[in-house]
Every structure is written in C-alpha cells, then in structure tokens.
A and B are shown apart, each in its own frame.
Chain A
Amino acid sequence: MKKFAIVLAFAVLLAFPVFAAAQAEVAGPASFVPTKNIEWYVTSSPGGGSDIFTRNLMDIMVSDKLVNDQNIVIQYKTDGAGEVGRLLVSNIKAGSQADHTLLTFNSGDLMPMAKNTNNRFENFQPIAHLAVDKHLIFVGEGSAYKNFEEVIAALKAGKNITLAGSKGDDIACHAALIKELGVSEDQFAYIAHDASSGAITAILGNHYDLLICKPAAASQYVEAGKIKPILALSTSRFPGNLSSAPTLKELGYKNVEVPNWRSVVGPKSMSAEAVAYWSDVFKQVSTTDAWTKGYIEKQKLVPEFMDHNVFKAYGTQFQAEYLASIGKDK
C-alpha cells in the first residue's frame, strides 16, 4: 500500500509539468503573465524625477492589479553615474529573469550613456514611451534682462551671458540654442549644476543671468513671483502660468527643442510575449486618471504614449541624431 502511494505521488508530480506545459500551449504565445517579483531598476537617486515617475507607474500598476498580484521591487543602481545599472540590465540573459526586469530610461540617461560609454539604445528592449518634458528659459527677480529680445540684443552687442541649468538634456538644449542663435559657447556660457534645484538656488541669489529648467521644477517659483519664464524651448507655448513665454519662432528664429522623454525599457533578451504584455500594461496605465491627473498634469509633462514598436524606431533615430550632433556618429 505504501509503495502504491509513493508511485501515485510520483505520477502526480510528473503529470504536473506536462499539464502545465499543455496549458501554456493552448493559451498561445501572447500569454505571458508575471509569476514572480518584478525587479525594476532606477539609475538615479531616490526622490528625483526618475524615481517619482517610476513610483507613480508602480503604484497604479499595483493598485489596478495589472501585474498578476506580484510584487514590484525597485532597485537603485547609481554606480558610475547610472552606467553600471544600465549595463547590468542590458546584459541579462534570456529567461524568466529577463521577462521580469524593467528599467526606467530617459533621454537624459541615453545622452550621457551614448556619449561616455559604448552601451547603446539597441542593447535594450524598448517597451513604452510615456511622457515628454520640455524646457523653458527663465530670469530671476534681479536679472538685468526682462525678456528674451533683450537677451538677443545684448548678445548682438557683444555682451556675455551666463545660463545656469542641470545636466544631460539641459546641456543638449543649450547646445542647440546657441547653434540656432549663432553665438559662441564662450559668449553664451553654460554653467552645469548637479540638479535643477542647484541652478534655481543660484538664480534666486542672482548669481547668473538666465536659468534653464523643466516646468515641474520651476512652477512653484513662478507662482511665487521669484522667477519669470521668457522663452519656451518647444514648438508651441506652455499652458497655465508659463504661457507668457514666447517660442523662438515668434522671435524670428527656428524653434529649438530637445525633449526629455520618459520611458521604460527591458533587457534586450526579453521574450516577445513579455514585451507585448508590458507594453500593454503601460498603455493601460497611461489612460488612467491617476496617471493623467495625478502625475502628468501635476508635473506639467506632455503625455505621449508610444508602444514598443513605435518607441523603438523613435529612440533609435533620437540616438543617431544625438550622436551625429556630438560628432560621434562613426
């Protein structure tokens, strides 16, 4: 009797995987669902823009039950200015782990990565592009300039101007702007800070002429009357309290914009089923009220959803253009 029980137990055990495999086959290739903890890498420090973006996504995914009741664990990998975390994700081998790994990826990450390392956008699996941040130029209360026409006039008169801002996309924005205005970097100098908050501090203390930053960081200071927007680096004016700033086109130049897009990617080795699944999850998140009102509107971003296919083409082109602009396209 004992023997029989053991044999029966074995039979049942053996039957399980077969049965499970059969089930998977029936459901077809698009049937990936998370079956274990999801590891979500963020390559910036907690509390910053990338972290807030990730946590908002995560909260909605968990509360709307879009991840099959699995846990999402955020991993902060900030070594090597984030390059170590990005390299780690791009190197994950195919398999279950690859399907359960996500990485928050912005153009502000892509630019230094492409510039300083050999890691490229192609080494990741694009999943979803969710939102775009654009830039404005501001003056502080004590600034010598009231609007951007005065700045242009001063530049033409040979005066020196200093512009304070953050890293990454802010620097690329400045480069595009001086190219369009036709002035040298010596004359229209850029002073990089670790974060926008540092640049804002310096402008509040009236240590530089101009400030470049994204709307979310500046909004409160505009409301308090501490800084004033004078130029929108976008193809159209911004809404709300930023609407007084004209675009470059209105001032007789071509528009300049270097969008900082916010997206999610995975390891290159992620299976096609998992890619389709995650892309769809983020599409669902992007239509929720919690996302559009609680995040996009509050942080003054432009909502712009792209699924994995569209995003792949977009990101690849963005990188090619960026590499060409810094002379690294060969």
Chain B
Amino acid sequence: MENLTMLLGGFSVVLTMQNILVTLLGAVLGLIVGAMPGIGSLAGVALLLPLTYKFNPTTAIIMLGSLYYANMYGGAFSAILLNIPGDSPAVMTALDGYPMATKRNRPGQALFTSNMSSFIGGLIGMFILTFTGPALANLGLKFGPAEMTALLLVAMTSIGWLVGENPIKGVLLTLVGILIASMGMDTLTGSPRFDFGNMYLLGGIPFTPFVIGTVGFSQVLKLMGERNKKVEANLSQKLTIRGSMLTLHDIKRLLPPAIRSGFLGTFVGVLPGAGATTGSFMGYAMQKAFKSEEELGSGAIEGIAACEAANNAAAAGSFAPLLALGIPGSGTGAVLLGGLMMWGLNPGPLLFTNQPEFCWGLIASLFLANLLTLVIALGIIPFLIKILTVPIKILIPCITVICIVGSYSTSNSMYGVLVMFFSGLFGYILDKNGYSTAPMLLAFVLAPLLESNMRKSFISSHGSLDIFFRKPISAFLILVLFAIILTPVIKFVIRKVRSSTKSV
C-alpha cells in the first residue's frame, strides 16, 4: 500500500505540463528510433543523453525512460510491414507479424496486436515493478553464473521448437549461430578468437547488422526475384483504424499469451545480462509450448502477442535492478546509469531512499509513456499500412537504403554495412534452400551469455559439475532441463514397450 502512495506521489511529479510534454517527445522519438532498423534504444538513448545534461535530472530521465519504452513499440512496425526488425527484440515479431500482414492480408490487425500486447506486457511489468521493486531486484541477485547457466540451457532447448520440419537443418544452423557468436574477444580472458588477424573481427560480429542482413536484406534479395509481380492494390481491409480493429475472437486469442509473456518478460528483464531481446526470444519460445489457433510462424496472433508483450515487460523489469541496486540490466540501462552520474545523482542501493521523488517519478512516467505511446501508435496505423500498397520495384531501393543506414549507424563505420551485405547473402541462400534462420539468431543471442556464465561457474567450482546442484534454484532448473530432454525419450520407450507387449 505504501508503494501505491509513493507511486501517486510519483504521478504528482510527472503530471506537470513540462514533464508531460517531455514524455510525449520521448514517446514520439522512441517510436521513430525504434522503427528505424539499426538505431535501437541503446543508440537512441546514447544520442539523446548529451542533450539532457542541462535538464533537471527528473525531467531528463523521464524523457529517456519514455524514449526507451516507446522504442519497444516502434521496433515492431518495420518488422511487421517490411520484415526488417527495427530493433533486436523485434526479430521474433517479424516471424509471425510479416506473414500476418502479407499472407493473411491483415496488416492493421497485426500492428494492433503488437501494440496491444506491448501495452499489456508493459503494464504487467510496471505493476510488478511498483509493488515489488527492491524485492524483484534481490531475486535477480540470486541468479549467479550457475543459475544463469541452468536457465540458459533450458532456454536453449526451446530451439527445438523453432527448427521447423527438418531437425538436422535446424541443429546445423544452431551450431553456425554459436560459431559466429564466438568470434571476437574471449569474454573471460580478453584474448582474440577467430579474428583471422582482422582488426574489425576482433570485436566480433555485431548483432544489429547481422540481424538486419539475415532477416531484412535477404528479404530484399528475395523481393528482387518477384519485382514484376503486381501488388494487389486493394487490400482486403480498409486503411482506417476501424478497418484495423481486432475482433472479439482475436482479443481472446491475444490475451493469454500476452499475460503469460508479461510475467515471463518481467522476470527475464531483472536477470543480470539478459535484456529485452532475450525476453522476446524466450516469450516466443514459451508460446510454442502452448496451443495456438494457427501454427506459429504462419502469421499467428499468438506469436506476435507472446514476443511483443515479453519484450515490453522485460524493458520495465530491467528498471528494477537499475533503480534498486544501481545495476544495469541491459546495455541501454548502462547508458542510463551513466546519465544518472552525469546529472549528479549517485546510482546505487541508496537511490530509492535518497531520491524517492526521482525514482517514483520515473516509474510513474513509465505508466504515462506506456499509455501515450499506445495512443500514438494506434493512431498512426492507417498511415503505416499504406506502405504495403507501394509497388515492390519502389520498395526495394527504399528498404536497401534503410538497411545500409541502419547497419552503418550501429558503429558509425562501413564494417557494419559489410556484415549486413554478407549476412544478407547468407540469409538468402539459407532461405532458398529451406533453412529457417530463427534458430541461428536465437543461438547467436544466447550462446555468448551461456558461454560466459558456464565458464565462470566452472572456474569457481574448479571444473566440478556439482556447482549446478549446490543451490536450490540451479538444481531445480537442471531438473527441468532433464525433464524436457528426457520426456520424448521416455515417451518413445513407453510406446515401444507397449507395442511389444501387444505384439506378444
């Protein structure tokens, strides 16, 4: 109850004309930054940070907080309409969003689904943050290297659900993803690995250009093949808000995955080193375990809802360790933390006690940003879906430019563009031969985390496996892992035994 009073206090800080305007500005900028491939929340916050040095800290963090927040919405736009994820968490949104917009001809509904689930996921995350803030952060602390290793192993098994019809192809691409992720500096000793003597490869393959290439640019190459195909000028729906509304049945399909992912995403956001991207991957993978009306990957509402809700919830969850302990849960969090220091605040375990109006103002501003962004995002749907009526011939050069700009801006160098071109070509070849790139991307995101946590565990246990069973959380997770892996085997054995007894 006390927290609720504090939250209301926070709202009294936020609901001044200046702060509302700043939230609005942050929301609009966040949507734009999010929708632009390559410029994710990290770059957006980093670019705006210097501008805020002269603001008072509360106003500054409100603006950056709402920018970060709105960004999670924006990423889905280009993912759904162009099959180019605007930011890394939206990779999973593209899997179902793009088919729903094009194959099923329901672009408005796809955007509506993504916005609604973002809102729901975010709201769940914020309520959990409000009521359990510091306790939530302490839960995150319980996850040391052994616990993280066990959790990541469980998450890796979800690749099994992503591999599609041909398991061998899926496993192969998972391995390729791990191999690519291991290039660059060794995370523990700092020695170069698979850098082939190249200065650029020393820093590894950057994620954003890699994703823009494999998902977005390969799409361009594919479109080139069908450039002369006529676009069906009449979309089956009207390009208005009303034409984009979800039916009651759609909403019924949307709610369960969005709510589940809201809780899961918040939890993932709190974990050390795992951000919104991991959240949305896990949210999508979890949905595979539940029933979806249409098959995931074919344009299912459930698929969009599961990952969009998870990534927004993770963004909200990542504020818990940041505010309660001064620990950034993601790269963007780290930049915000740097900002706090520049504004003259001391982020750390005393922030909630020393600067309550700042902390609660920030949390209240997240609620406000969530609402404002939803309104803006829904309002622009009719304009956005017009993109789909643009002839492919014109769309191809436009998307190419976006891909190039996006991959250039991640590190301000042509290296990103080169990575994008090559991975685009690679992605195209894979696609032509019936390989799905999702397992590769999932492995690419999770492998570095898994590697560093596993090696940390083994260093501290001197190579002994018992570290995974010493503490209850990791022991439980390892049991879950065994259960997941062994279930099909046991089922198979039981079936064998049964059929053999029958035949006898």
- A-side residues, CB < 8 A to B, are 45-48, 51-52, 55, 59, 74-84, 87, 112, 115-117, 160, 162, 167-168, 171, 186, 189, 191-192, 194-195, 197-198, 200-202, 204-208, 219-221, 223-224, 226
Asked if B192 is at the interface of the complex by the 8 Å CB criterion, the answer is: yes
User: What's the least CB distance linking B434 to chain A, in Å?
Assistant: 34
- A291 to B18 alpha-carbon distance, docked (Å): 31
Q: How far is the CA of A224 from the CA of B184 in the complex (A)?
A: 37
Is B185's beta carbon under 8 Å from chain A? yes
User: Contacting B459 at CB < 8 Å: which of A81, A162, A221?
Assistant: A162
Residue pair A191, B202 in contact (C-beta under 8 Å): no
Chain A residues with CB under 8 A of B140: 201
Query: Taking the complex as formed, is B272 at the interface, i.e. its CB lies under 8 A from any CB of chain A?
Result: yes
| Chain A residues closer than 8 Å to B187, beta-carbon distance | 192, 194
A47 with B339: CB separation less than 8 A:
yes
The reply to whether B411 and A79 contact each other, CB–CB distance below 8 Å, is: yes
Contact of B189 with A189 in the complex, beta carbons under 8 Å = no
B168 at interface by CB-CB < 8 Å = no
Interface residues of B in 182-213 (CB under 8 A from A): 184-185, 187-192, 199-203, 206
Q: Is the CB of A78 within 8 A of B203?
A: yes
| B347 CB-CB contact with A under 8 Å | yes
Taking each of A74, A81, A160, A226, which has the highest tally of chain B beta carbons within 10 Å of its own beta carbon? A81
Name the 5 nearest CB pairs between A and B, nearest first: A47-B338, A220-B348, A207-B144, A205-B141, A80-B202
Q: How far apart are the CA atoms of A201 and B142 in the complex, in Å?
A: 10
Interface residues of B (CB under 8 A from A): 46, 49-50, 53, 140-146, 184-185, 187-192, 199-203, 206, 272-273, 321, 325-328, 331, 334-339, 341-342, 346-350, 411-413, 415, 456, 459-460, 462
Question: How far, in whole Å, are A171 and B53 apart by their CA atoms in the complex?
Answer: 33
Q: B206 contacts which chain A residues (CB < 8 A)? A: 79
Contacts of A204 in B (CB 8 A): 141, 325, 327
Q: Are B334 and A197 in contact (CB under 8 A)?
A: yes
A84 to B206, CA, bound (A): 14
User: How many A-B pairs with Cβ below 8 Å?
Assistant: 139
Report Cα–Cα, A70/B328, bound state, in Å.
Answer: 35
Chain B nearest Cβ from A133, distance in angstroms: 15
* Cross-chain contact B337 with A197 (CB below 8 angstroms): yes
Q: Are A51 and B411 in contact (CB under 8 A)?
A: no
Q: A80-B200, A162-B460, A205-B144 are in contact. Are A195 and B334 (CB under 8 A)?
A: yes
Residues of chain A within 8 A (CB-CB) of B326 are 197, 220-221
Q: Which of A117, A192, A201, A219 has the most CB of B within 10 A?
A: A201
**Which residues of A lie under 8 Å from residue B411 when comparing CB positions?**
77-79
A1 to B472, CA, bound (A): 98
- CA separation between A157 and B460, bound complex, in Å? 18
Residue from A45, A59, A83 within 8 A of B199 (CB atoms)? A83
Contacts A81-B202, A81-B203 known; list 7 others, CB within 8 Å.
A79-B200, A80-B200, A81-B184, A171-B190, A201-B321, A205-B141, A221-B348
A residues in contact with B346, CB < 8 Å: 219-220
Q: Are B328 and A197 in contact (CB under 8 A)?
A: yes
- Closest residue on chain B to residue A222 by CB atoms: B348
Picked from B188, B321, B341, the residue with its CB within 8 Å of the CB of A52 is B341
- Max chain A CB contacts within 10 Å: which of B142, B201, B206, B334? B334
30 contacting pairs across A/B (C-beta < 8 A): A45-B331, A47-B49, A47-B338, A51-B338, A55-B342, A59-B53, A77-B411, A79-B203, A79-B413, A80-B202, A81-B184, A81-B203, A84-B202, A84-B413, A116-B190, A116-B202, A162-B459, A162-B460, A189-B460, A191-B456, A192-B189, A195-B334, A201-B325, A204-B327, A207-B460, A219-B346, A220-B326, A220-B348, A221-B349, A224-B348
